[in-house]
Chain A
Amino acid sequence: QQQVKQSPQSLIVQKGGISIINCAYENTAFDYFPWYQQFPGKGPALLIAIRPDVSEKKEGRFTISFNKSAKQFSLHIMDSQPGDSATYFCAASSASGGSEKLVFGKGTKLTVNP
């Protein structure tokens, strides 16, 4: 019940295209859903996050869509650029757990071709 399932495992998109990564969770206590971007040799960096009181959040080219009833959330990258090539992790946490530890998905390796 602590798992966050992420798909696809890898994604290849042409420059200018839309990248879509999906995640699903089971634990209804989760109340914070961030997306992290990781480049090789670096730590995960927060990209965008959402709480379940809204269904969508947009920051620049990045949008999170959240479906509470389906327990799913997704990341959309509009106008994808080669510089967006990285591994993306969805995650979830619950403030009720005390430590707010993040449970990560398995990651999606995004390649944006020029």
Chain B
Amino acid sequence: EPEVTQTPSHQVTQMGQEVILRCVPISNHLYFYWYRQILGQKVEFLVSFYNNEISEKSEIFDDQFSVERPDGSNFTLKIRSTKLEDSAMYFCASRGVDSPLHFGNGTRLTVT
């Protein structure tokens, strides 16, 4: 069964540094998402992306965040200047036109 693949599985960075989280969505999917989950809490929507542009973003997704689909397969989330409170699991997800949302296994981001 096709999967959403995320790399790295764990990223440790210092406060103020830039990080890029990478995702390879399922190949025939058209809608792409980033969610995050702070340890022990619920999964929260960050941003959705369709047709090479952001279709919706949450209030969490401020100017420090950006997303990009640099080629036909990758979907990235960049945090320009990380803060301690950015520490969380970041999940990439994708779906087709009439298919449910599939999540990757996440990248654990630790900001020290």
User: In whole angstroms, what is the CA distance A97 to B45 when docked?
Assistant: 13
Chain A residues, CB < 8 A from B91? 43-44
Q: What's the count of A-B pairs with C-beta under 8 Å?
A: 54
Chain A residues, CB < 8 A from B58? 101
User: In whole angstroms, what is the CA distance A107 to B56 when docked?
Assistant: 24
Q: Is the interface of B mostly helix, strand, loop or mixed?
A: strand
Cβ 8 A contact of A42, one of B35, B43, B55, B105 = B105
Q: In the bound complex, do residue A41 and residue B100 qualify as a contact, i.e. CB atoms below 8 Å apart?
A: no
Question: 11 interchain pairs (CB within 8 A)?
Answer: A42-B105, A42-B106, A44-B103, A99-B33, A99-B50, A101-B45, A101-B48, A101-B58, A104-B43, A104-B44, A107-B42
**Could you list which residues of chain A lie within 8 angstroms of chain B, going by C-beta atoms?**
34, 36, 41-46, 49, 89, 91, 97-107
